[in-house]
Amino acid sequence: MQQYDSDVEQGLVYGYLLDGRGGGRRLSRRELAEVEPGPGEVLWLHWDRSVPEAQAWLRQSSGLSEFACDLLLEEATRPRLVNQPDDSLLLFLRGVNLNPGAVPEDMVSLRVFVDKRRVISLRMRPMKAAAEVQEDLEAGIGAQNAEELVLYLASYMTSRVDDLVRGLSDQLDSLEEQVDQDEGSLPDHAQVLTLRRRSTGLRRYLAPQRDIYGDLARGKPAWFVEAASQGYWSELHNSLVRNLEELEVVRERVALLQDAEQRATTEKTNRTLYLLAIITGFFLPISFITGLLGMNMGGMPGSSSAFGFVAACLLIGAVAIFQVWLFRRLRWL
């Protein structure tokens, strides 16, 4: 175990020589220069591309072209499939980020070089999918060839997407149920924005990845897809198509919630403005009367009478009662 911990420090996360029967032999970093896949065997090397030793090995000892190394080590990439002149493939995939404290839709990148005898994969952050492939190999139920190895990686990555999309739909169900039960209730604005951001981020990477699986399901390139596994690539393609359709529905449902939120806010604002307008209209005549009677000028009626103040109050009360009757008759109240 100490030996493999040292390998990880040098950038080699997993190294296996697949035996073609579902199992494989774990390789250490120092064995890489000596190992050569025999008939029916496949070499799988999973590297941490952030480690300088891994980058140096890829450029100096892997035998890959400079063009392939540049693509595998570039900082920013998106899902795509690159056919090489020597019938090898460069495959760039994205998976759900399950690392502690990470945002799931901040998807992790997996870069893969694959030919008939070798699979070289690189990651920046730990990937659950690669760990599950390694566990399958240790249990003797893993990939038997290069294509199956890539298929297993893609399958485990896609299964996490299914769970994430299903979780987004469940959150939307809860919000919609809350709004349906109480028409005056407003959906959580921050949660609605988070759902919209997550669905948009997932669509950004899943749409090109769907096209990749579609190409592989159609047998491009021909050597990569065997008849037995072509259906699995097709199923992965259909799974992403279903997820993308569900994400489109999520976006539409989020838009409806935002419309409901905006409509409820507008109605609340309109009710408040209407109430203020009624209050203003109610006190306007009263304010006119009190302002008129409050002028400091001679000849004001009732100024010399002991009952002048009472008469003014009765007048104001009568005006108020008349306004209430009038507002009700006009159905303003």
**Own/partner pairs, 222-230, CB within 8 angstroms, 24+ separation:** 223/87, 223/116, 224/89, 224/114, 224/147, 225/147, 226/147, 229/147, 229/148, 229/151
Provide mean pLDDT across the span 103-110: 76
Q: Kindly give, in sequence order, each residue whose CB lies less than 8 Å from that of residue 213, ignoring residues fewer than 6 positions away.
A: 154, 233, 234, 236, 237, 240
Place of tokens 């976006």: 251
Nearest to 12 by CA among 112, 120, 117: 120
Kindly report, residue by residue over 14-39, the tens digit of the pLDDT. Answer: 999 999 899 999 998 888 888 888 88
- Residue 194 confidence (pLDDT): 83
- Residue 177 confidence (pLDDT): 81
CATH classification at residue 231: 3.30.460.20
Give yes or no: residues 184 and 304 share one domain.
no
Q: Is the pLDDT of residue 6 over 60?
A: yes
Length of the chain (residues)? 333
Give yes or no: residues 113 and 229 share one domain.
yes
Give yes or no: residues 143 and 166 share one domain.
yes
Lowest mean pLDDT across 40-44, 96-100, 306-310: 96-100
- Residue 140 confidence (pLDDT): 92
Cα atoms found within 13 Å of the Cα of residue 288, Cβ hemisphere only: 7
Element (H, E) at 25: strand 24-26
- Residue 312 confidence (pLDDT): 81
CA–CA gap between residue 72 and residue 92 (Å, rounded): 8
More confident residue, 242 or 95: 242
Both structure tokens of 158: 């896609």
Kindly report, residue by residue over 194-214, the tens digit of the pLDDT. Answer: 888 888 888 888 888 888 888
Contact 219, 237 (CB under 8 A): no
Give yes or no: residues 192 and 284 share one domain.
no
Give yes or no: residues 14 and 143 share one domain.
yes
Q: Is the pLDDT of residue 63 over 80?
A: yes
* Domain containing residue 269: 265-329
Give yes or no: residues 177 and 304 share one domain.
no
Per the structure, the count of domains in the chain is 2
Answer with the one of 221, 243, 264 that is the final residue of a domain: 264
63 — alpha (psi -120 to 50), left (phi > 0) or beta?
A: left
Q: Is the pLDDT of residue 99 over 90?
A: no
Kindly report, residue by residue over 275-303, the tens digit of the pLDDT. Answer: 888 888 888 888 888 887 777 666 677 66
CATH classification at residue 282: 1.20.58
Contact 261, 253 (CB under 8 A): no
Provide mean pLDDT across the span 227-248: 82
More confident residue, 305 or 227: 305
Lowest mean pLDDT across 51-60, 128-137, 208-217: 208-217
Answer with the one of 243, 264, 285 that is the final residue of a domain: 264
- Residue 229 confidence (pLDDT): 64
Give yes or no: residues 231 and 293 share one domain.
no
Give yes or no: residues 10 and 150 share one domain.
yes
- Residue 84 confidence (pLDDT): 84
The listed range with the strongest mean pLDDT (110-114, 190-194, 214-218) is 110-114
Give yes or no: residues 297 and 192 share one domain.
no
Q: Is the pLDDT of residue 228 over 60?
A: no
Both structure tokens of 299: 């000849």
pLDDT tier for residue 72 given thresholds of 50, 70 and 90: very high
